């Protein structure tokens, strides 16, 4: 497991830094407990699963779920299984997206992608099994009522699948690679590919905290704005960051003439768009009559992050 | 959608033939309702999903779930969503197993496999989305209580994943391709790769019918024996059937020196093993104090099927 060095930059609010480190440790320990051991057959698939899940990810989705849940006074331990499920869905999507027939990436977070390290068959099966396990651990989580578990699985599956989730976004993204993409279309691709799961993270936290419909809707709006902000700063960092801080080859998106906010609008306009989106997210938070300091700090962090 | 010509051979019990045709029509209509339309984006992935789901499959797992459920007096309409979920999980596994890095099959049920027809990326995403949708439709099925939905998702996910489900079986099978496999190991591979989902089908039917633990255990034993019988007759048919009745190139397993019951024991011993397994399955049924005529007829059909 990787320490949380990546996410604790000097400019990070100290309270948020502590929160993120706590969540990362909690989630990593729980993931370690959930994931099948490398000593059990099929060893190669289990090794591939752990290689990808413990690759130094920031646990952004689990942290968002936990922060939203705590804003709605949920007990942290009731948030843990769905937080791990989100990370499993995220890890599965990265493994499959990196495959040769998809984005064909050799490197992620500074090391070999799953199929480069374990072969394509093991990588496909590792992704498949991670998706299965995500739904399994929520279904088996006895800390939550059956009603809550069913609601969470509905949220996660809609966000992960098609036509309104992550798989639809990846398909749209692949299809759009070879042609000119409009600003509206780019936003739609990201809304599906990364936004849907980020919104699901926030909604799961709110649902476990018993949020009423009006506050659930505001939470979705905030998370959607945060997801957009995340994507814009990701695109900007891909242009401006060095390989060392980024842990992957920067500029890959630009070279491939891929649709990104930086490519479409230019780097300065993309930065302005990030600031405007950050402001909108904070305005949404203000409408929530809850303690949202941590969510505010997360939005600030996403705007100013260096990696 | 393909008519049920495949499963209605002249030797088939007329009552069972009617039952299988009814279930196939019911399940196909419901699958058509659940699967995203090809007119919705991403069109290619949705077309790939429908290509594979409506490829003329026999709907064996849904039929088993329905037959077991009816033995336990469950309402047929309460069995339909989980039956479709099983078929989605089965279809997803076939799409991914056929991929070049896995079994590398060009033909299935007499036509191009998903990746040959739609490309590898669309095939991977179609499989991914089918797995997601399987869990989603059970989570969303308002005809069942939340408790039942959670229990069914637990059953399906354990049977589909690793270390005790379908993904583990496929990994074990791939790993064993290049070496000599013992009879015990072959049984273990099939127990995971195809048996787990067949047992889950029967258990889901029994659970929806409110079966007590003792009867649930007998149902699992019966389904496990039926799954073994299914695999042995599959291996025998691969050697003895013609391409026309089989809808795929027969003998492929033998040529690849793959571990099968026919290769390991010889065709005559494999046939004897099928008869013995059929007898054991019927003995298990006799212990169930329920109307099991249809399950008996299904076991007979599996033993004597020609395709």
What CA–CA distance (Å, rounded) separates A199 from A221?
8
Kindly report the nearest CA distance between residue B57 and chain A, in angstroms.
22
Smallest CA–CA distance from A162 into chain B, residue: B129
Return the percent helix, strand and coil in chain B, to nearest 5. 70, 0, 25
- The reported pLDDT for the residue numbered A243 is 56
- Measured between beta carbons, the chain B residues lying within 8 angstroms of A135 are 135, 153, 157
Kindly report the nearest CA distance between residue A44 and chain B, in angstroms.
8
Nearest of A227, A202, A223, A225 to residue A276 by alpha carbon: A225
Instruction: Using the predicted structure, report yes or no on whether residue B7 has a pLDDT greater than 50.
Output: no
What CA–CA distance (Å, rounded) separates A257 from A245?
22
Instruction: Using the predicted structure, report yes or no on whether residue A189 has a pLDDT greater than 80.
Output: yes
Look at A245 and B209; give whichever has higher pLDDT.
B209
Q: Please answer whether residues A138 and A85 qualify as being in contact, where contact means their C-beta atoms are separated by less than 8 angstroms.
A: yes
Region at B36 (left for phi over 0; alpha for psi -120 to 50; beta for the rest): beta
Question: Could A41 and B154 be called an inter-chain contact, meaning their C-beta atoms sit closer than 8 Å?
Answer: no
- Measured between beta carbons, the chain B residues lying within 8 angstroms of A92 are 128
Question: Could A168 and B99 be called an inter-chain contact, meaning their C-beta atoms sit closer than 8 Å?
Answer: no
Kindly report the nearest CA distance between residue B65 and chain A, in angstroms.
20
Question: Could A45 and B139 be called an inter-chain contact, meaning their C-beta atoms sit closer than 8 Å?
Answer: no
Q: Please answer whether residues B299 and B233 qualify as being in contact, where contact means their C-beta atoms are separated by less than 8 angstroms.
A: no
Kindly report the nearest CA distance between residue B233 and chain A, in angstroms.
26
Smallest CA–CA distance from A160 into chain B, residue: B132
Taking the mean position of all CA atoms in its chain, how far away is CA A79? 16
Please give the residue range of the domain that contains residue B83: 4-304
What is the pTM assigned to this prediction? 0.94
- Measured between beta carbons, the chain B residues lying within 8 angstroms of A40 are 163
Residue A226 vs residues A61, A190, A290, B62, B172: alpha-carbon distances, Å: 11, 12, 18, 42, 42
Smallest CA–CA distance from A49 into chain B, residue: B162
Look at B92 and B58; give whichever has higher pLDDT.
B92
Nearest of B166, B172, B300 to residue B233 by alpha carbon: B300
Question: Could B125 and A153 be called an inter-chain contact, meaning their C-beta atoms sit closer than 8 Å?
Answer: no
- The reported pLDDT for the residue numbered A109 is 86
Q: Please answer whether residues A152 and A206 qualify as being in contact, where contact means their C-beta atoms are separated by less than 8 angstroms.
A: no
Tokens of B205: 């039917």
Q: What is the pLDDT of residues B272-282, one digit of tens each?
A: 999 999 999 99
What CA–CA distance (Å, rounded) separates A176 from B260?
44
Instruction: Using the predicted structure, report yes or no on whether residue B98 has a pLDDT greater than 80.
Output: yes
For chain A, the domain total comes to 1
* φ, ψ of residue A295 in degrees (nearest 5): -65, -40
- Measured between beta carbons, the chain A residues lying within 8 angstroms of B96 are 124-125, 128
Q: How confident is the model at residue B250 (pLDDT cuts 50, 70, 90)?
A: low
Element (H, E) at A112: strand A111-112
- The reported pLDDT for the residue numbered B302 is 95
Q: What is the pLDDT of residues A66-85, one digit of tens each?
A: 999 999 999 999 999 999 99
- The reported pLDDT for the residue numbered B5 is 38
b/e map B28-66, b = 16+ CB within 10 Å = bebbeebbbeeeebbbbbbbbbbbbbebbbbbbbbbbbb
Q: What is the pLDDT of residues B153-173, one digit of tens each?
A: 999 999 999 999 999 999 999
Q: Please answer whether residues B227 and B198 qualify as being in contact, where contact means their C-beta atoms are separated by less than 8 angstroms.
A: yes
Look at A239 and B101; give whichever has higher pLDDT.
B101
Q: How high is the mean pLDDT of chain A?
A: 92
What's B287's domain CATH number? Answer: 1.10.600.10
Predicted complex ipTM: 0.93
Q: How high is the mean pLDDT of chain B?
A: 92
């Amino acid at each position: 497991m990787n320490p949380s060095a990546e996410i604790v930059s000097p400019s990070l609010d100290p309270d948020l830094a502590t929160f993120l480190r706590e969540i990362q440790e909690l989630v990593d320990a729980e993931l370690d407990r959930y994931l099948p051991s490398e000593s059990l057959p099929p060893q190669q698939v289990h090794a591939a699963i752990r290689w990808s899940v413990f690759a130094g990810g920031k646990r952004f989705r689990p942290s968002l779920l936990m922060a939203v849940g705590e804003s709605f006074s949920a007990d942290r331990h009731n948030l843990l299984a769905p937080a791990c499920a989100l990370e499993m869905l995220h890890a599965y999507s990265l493994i499959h997206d990196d495959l040769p027939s998809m984005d064909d990436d050799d490197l992620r977070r500074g090391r070999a992608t799953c199929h480069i390290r374990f072969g394509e068959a093991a990588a496909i099966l590792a992704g498949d099994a991670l998706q299965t396990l995500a739904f399994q651990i929520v279904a088996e989580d006895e800390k939550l009522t059956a009603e809550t578990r069913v609601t969470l699985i509905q949220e996660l599956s809609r966000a992960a699948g098609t036509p309104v989730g992550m798989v639809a976004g990846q398909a749209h993204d692949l299809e759009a690679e070879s042609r000119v993409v409009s600003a509206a279309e780019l936003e739609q691709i990201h809304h599906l590919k990364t936004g849907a799961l980020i919104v699901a993270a926030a909604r799961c936290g709110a649902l476990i905290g018993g949020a009423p419909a009006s506050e659930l809707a505001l939470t979705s709006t905030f998370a959607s704005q945060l997801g957009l902000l995340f994507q814009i700063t990701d695109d900007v960092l891909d242009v401006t960051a060095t390989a060392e801080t980024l842990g992957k080859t920067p500029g890959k998106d630009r070279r491939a003439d891929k649709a990104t906010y930086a490519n479409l609008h230019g780097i300065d306009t993309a930065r302005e768009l990030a600031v405007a989106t950050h402001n909108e997210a904070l305005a949404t938070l203000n409408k929530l009559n809850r303690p949202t300091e941590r969510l505010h700090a997360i939005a600030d962090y996403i705007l100013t992050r260096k990696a």
